[in-house]
Structure 1
Amino acid sequence: MATESTADTGPFDLGSTPIHIGPGSRTIPIADFGFDVASFEAYIAAHCRPGEPGRLIMVETTPSDWPSWECHGEGDEIVIVLEGRAEFIQEIGGEERRMPVRPGVTLINPKGIWHTADVQESLTAIYITPCPGTEHRERSS
């Protein structure tokens, strides 16, 4: 049985228009996304519910080391490296686990695990992220 959709099906640039995947695998493009705190807060308020955080799929380019650690409290994050080189660092059981990444590599930042990245060559990656409950803390020098 065929169904009709009135949803916008693209094409999209995930670097400026991330896509939310919500309950029932429904997709919603988030146009004019600013990739700043206010944009993430507005996205969470509009599209995420307790117990149903969904996932935000986005492409982000990071030219230098991350300035902070982050931790996702609502689920695992998937990172798919498209370009560049970096070392992702996960804090597990008080120890740092360092993972070098290059184009084509995928890694998982598990729910509740603090992580950051040292960038050797400008990093472009697809992030599939549960945004609600994400926390940040400064990296010590």
Structure 2
Amino acid sequence: MTDTNSGLDLSRFHLHLEDGPRIRPVSLASGDRPAEGRTLAVFPAERPEDVHPDSWEMHPGGDELLILCSGRLELDLEDADGMRTVELAPRTGQVVPAGSWHRLRLREPSVLLAITHRSGTQRRKDREA
């Protein structure tokens, strides 16, 4: 259980947005990964490794919303039209469609907020790495 008299430390918890009316904190230390619903997570990125630029991921269970709170990131997306790069600046976002392979590249230290349906998430190494 979390202390309800202080703010929720989003470096230690993600928020599970159930398909119903509840939002539940999930401790990162527990390793608990809810199967249904979406997860809201805040990711600080200080070094390129923090955004795993040599790995791509894909979420078949639903779209992912990425919102950059601070810093600068580049989002590479693979879709039916090929690959494109979206530059993310503070207070900008991008919807990554379900089933689209994508990766992030750090341009300056950043804080990223992501809302993701993690069910069935897949990862692969960069073909050029």
Common fold: TM-score over 0.5: yes
Distance 1:109 1:138 in 2: 19
In structure 2, the CA distance between the partners of 1:56 and 1:8, relative to structure 1 (3 Å rule), is farther
Which residue of the other structure, out of 108, 126, 135, is the alignment partner of 2:113?
A: 126
Task: Note the C-alpha offset of 1:8.
Answer: 7.1
Task: Note the C-alpha offset of 1:94.
Answer: 5.6
1:87 partnered with 2:70: no
Q: Partner of 1:115 in structure 2?
A: 102
Q: Partner of 1:103 in structure 2?
A: 90
Helix, strand or coil for the counterpart of 1:107?
Answer: strand
CA RMSD between the two structures: 2.0
Q: Which one is further off, 78-87 or 8-17? A: 8-17
Kindly report structure 1 stretches of 4+ aligned residues shifted beyond 3 Å. 7-10
Q: Partner of 1:4 in structure 2?
A: none
Q: Partner of 1:21 in structure 2?
A: 17
- Choose between structure 1 and 2: higher strand proportion: 2
Aligned length: 122
- Once the two structures are superposed, residues 76-122 of structure 1 have per-residue CA deviations (whole angstroms, 9 ceiling, x without a partner) of 01111011111101001161111001110011111000000121112
Distance 1:69 1:15 in 2: 23
Equivalent residue letter for 1:25? P
Identity of aligned residues (%): 29
Helix, strand or coil for the counterpart of 2:20?
Answer: helix
Rg comparison, structure with higher value: 1
Task: Note the C-alpha offset of 1:13.
Answer: 2.0
- Choose between structure 1 and 2: higher helix proportion: 1
Structure 1 stretches of 5 or more lacking a match?
A: 1-6
Structure 2 stretches of 5 or more lacking a match?
A: none
Task: Note the C-alpha offset of 1:67.
Answer: 2.5
1:78 partnered with 2:61: no
Q: Partner of 2:44 in structure 1?
A: 61
Report if the CA contact (8 A) 1:90-1:113 is conserved. Answer: yes
